[in-house]
Structure 1
Amino acid sequence: MFNLNRLVDKLGLSTTEGLLRAVRTVAVALIVTVVLFGGYYYWDRYVRIGDRSPLELSIEQLEHAVREDPANPDLRVALAERYLNAGQYERALEQAQQVLEVYPENEGALLVAGLACMRLDRPQEALEPLETFVELRKGRPTAGGDLVLETAYYYLGDAYLRLDRPTDAIEMLEAAITINRTDADAFYLLGRAYQKIDDLETALKCYLEAVRFVPDFAEAYAGMAEIYEAWGEPDYLAYARGMQAFSARDYETARSYLEQATSALPDFPQAFLGLALTYEQLGDLEAALEAAQRALELQPDDLAVQHTVGRIQTALGAQQ
């Protein structure tokens, strides 16, 4: 089982983007397990060692099992997945490649190989296994809700973006978002890709979508700031700078910027929501509620705003 705090400490993931990568790493662990075992009666199909399946074995036990049965692809992929989750990316890739030499369409090995290459910052090498994985799954009747496929699309988009192929990245990331409309990471990378081809309006929409789901997504606000600065929009730039400060937990600076933004932009709900969140962190709940209620007036159907209003009202009620 993953310990998220230990993973964050180990990888030094102190930024919002880093934390999102940590969360996605945990998700990948679950997804690889689904690829390996989902939809199969693995109690019958997979080799059991003693009373346990490969899911329950440690790295050391799986290494021993592979030595005992080196031709078993299921054990090798299970070991590759363990290496991947433990940060031993070269070993994960080696095990996955050994499986793919014999079973070139083994989905678990393809996914592990692609993700290991991405972790090793070798995006060119990640393309072939991830593209093959996508080809194997995208035509299935369940593709529209396949979160495993969505993850492969995401990492393919990331790989293309790292290789300075933003048009290809857009295609993959749009496919990912079609499956999962709440993937803040995918919206952020999609914004970067559109920004690279100078479609700043679409890039901004993507960044705004990203922060709907992760309100302290500093990197998305940095992208917004670049766009607002390029457009010569100082008041919107103040909003983006304020939310960057909020993401960095510099709440006094955030308040200064966001008060400027809300004063200049009385009909911009995102600025009022950001100000409400900032006041909440500063302990000024009455001011937070006022700002949140203004955001709700401007955007009454926004769930994030609704939840913020409710949370602040509850906190105020507890004080009375």
Structure 2
Amino acid sequence: MKDKKRNLLCLIVSVFIFSGCFSAKTGSLKSFNALEQPDQMNVNSKACAHYLRGLLYERQGSLDRAVSEFSKAHNYDQDSTAVLTKLAASYFRKGEFPHAIGALKKVFVLEPENIKARLLLAIIYTHMARFEDASLLYKEVIELDPENKHALLSIADLYVFEKKTEKAILIYEQIVIKEQPQHAFIYFNLGMLYLQIGKYDEAVRCLEQALHLKSDYVEAYLCIGLVYELKDEIGKSEQAYKSVINIMPKNCLAHFRLGSLYLGTDQDEKALQQFQRVIEINPEIVEPYFEIARTYLKLDNPDAAIKILLSRENFIKEKAYFFLLLGIANSVKDDFVLAEQYYHKALTEKPDYEAARFYLAVLYERQGKRDLSKQEFLLIIENNPDNSVACNYLGYMYAEDGANLDKAIELIKKAIKIEPKNGAYVDSLGWAYYKKGNLEYALKYLEQAVSLLDSDFEIHSHLGQVYFEKGCFSKARKHWERSLKIKPAQVEVKEKLENLIANNGKRGGKQ
């Protein structure tokens, strides 16, 4: 669940960045277009001529010539702040920040309260990552012109860059309350900021306002869909993605997220349709091939999974996940040799690939190579002590072996500390105590496990065994019957139950 949340948040940030809502605006020079008119200059024909040539070269992208012409214009009219500001802008576009700053400082000598020069200098400081200096300049602009929305939004942007999200929110809220702006992007940005601090309801409210102002705002629909996924409101998320597709039928992200929703809600055929649609739109995107393979594995069709993966082998650059899925597919087919080869390939590509090492450890355990399996699990836990699945798996293996029982209990308790409501982990702890001979603790945790995960056949089997050892034969029978109802093909449990019934509900025979 944590990985899913992290992935969704990364997706939201990606939508945010590619929509260009913050960074593009902060570095924009559009606000200086007014300076292209020479009416702010002193009447000097030679200065004006060089100034106009500078504008022409600037528009053609000939920045060296533009700088040369603006410099000549300045030589003829050294009191023109318009010339100096355009000279600074050209230096900025060339990446010559010190020269740009020098020209702007001359502007402040001539005109101490020049707002446009302050805005340009703030942009330059932002590009130099001098955020504090930029922020001070924007604040000076607001003091000179309290209604300057560009400066307010730019300060908010700086707070975003500095990860001072709550300060950025305050500025956006100030703009919204004071002006009730009709610009959808302001509400979109505010929604994204709320999202960053986990205020999902406020985020949705702002995003919906953005859509009210701009009904075809694709990025807002996408982000609402992702937020609803975080809130586990799958129906609303589905509707948001469908709205994107209605506006933009070839939006790959909407189709992909819709497929992921369907896959997560066991609508596997619908999931396949959406992933196939992404491939039709853009065959170069590799993720849908992986998701189709995962869907086929879920449908217990490993051959189809292998086929779709191998069809793109030559186009996949980062192959670690590719090899992992092939390993899983071959493991499902009980081709352990090939599965092991693929897991090792995944680890060769990415030595710290925790998932590949985990599946390799499980594969070893399935093959009866328990020592090798334990070595892999120990490596996982050494590198990531908070891997609850590995802690529980290794702890349960120790318990099953009847060895290292104190270590087994320690590992399983660590897993439960990370996921307290995980019924499988609590079952492992109960079983470890049973193996240690502590029936009271075993009963305590196994009853708790059943309350958390009543549909697990193994928990009922374990609880039945503990009740049997305590002489509570009717309860033992009840849980063994429940276990067999969930999974009838359990020879050992069936034999235990038959022996119990044959002995009139009393101890008899080997249990």
After TM superposition, is the score higher than 0.5? yes
Does the residue aligned with 2:116 lie in a helix, a strand or coil?
coil
Which blocks of at least 5 consecutive residues in structure 1 are unaligned? 1-14, 144-148, 261-280, 282-320
| Match in the other structure for 2:271 | 203
Q: Is contact 2:191-2:207 (8 Å) kept? A: yes
| Match in the other structure for 1:67 | 139
Q: 1:91 to 1:43 in 2, by over 3 A?
A: farther
Q: What is the Cα deviation at residue 225 of structure 1?
A: 4.2
The aligned length equals 234
| Match in the other structure for 2:190 | 113
| Match in the other structure for 1:137 | 214
Structure 2 Cα separation of the partners of residues 21 and 240 of structure 1: 28
2:299 is aligned with what amino acid?
W
Matches within 5 A, 1:81-230: 81-85=157-161, 87-105=163-181, 106-138=183-215, 143=216, 149-210=217-278, 212=282, 215-217=285-287, 220=288, 223-230=291-298
Q: What is the Cα deviation at residue 21 of structure 1?
A: 6.4
Q: Is contact 1:92-1:112 (8 Å) kept? A: no
Q: What is the Cα deviation at residue 24 of structure 1?
A: 3.8
TM-score, scaled relative to structure 1: 0.56
Which blocks of at least 5 consecutive residues in structure 2 are unaligned? 1-5, 35-114, 331-348, 350-511
Structure 1 Cα separation of the partners of residues 164 and 323 of structure 2: 40
1:63 is aligned with what amino acid?
S
Structure 1 Cα separation of the partners of residues 201 and 308 of structure 2: 34
Q: What is the Cα deviation at residue 41 of structure 1?
A: 7.0
| Match in the other structure for 1:277 | none
Q: 1:53 to 1:112 in 2, by over 3 A?
A: farther
1:238 is aligned with what amino acid?
I
Q: 1:99 to 1:225 in 2, by over 3 A?
A: same
Q: Is contact 1:110-1:132 (8 Å) kept? A: yes
Structure 2 Cα separation of the partners of residues 256 and 193 of structure 1: 23
Question: What do you get for the CA RMSD once the two structures are aligned?
Answer: 4.4
Structure 2 Cα separation of the partners of residues 248 and 241 of structure 1: 13
Q: 1:254 to 1:55 in 2, by over 3 A?
A: same
TM-score, scaled relative to structure 2: 0.37
1:134 is aligned with what amino acid?
L
% identical aligned pairs:
16
Q: What is the Cα deviation at residue 127 of structure 1?
A: 0.5
Q: Is contact 2:272-2:292 (8 Å) kept? A: yes
Q: What is the Cα deviation at residue 238 of structure 1?
A: 2.5
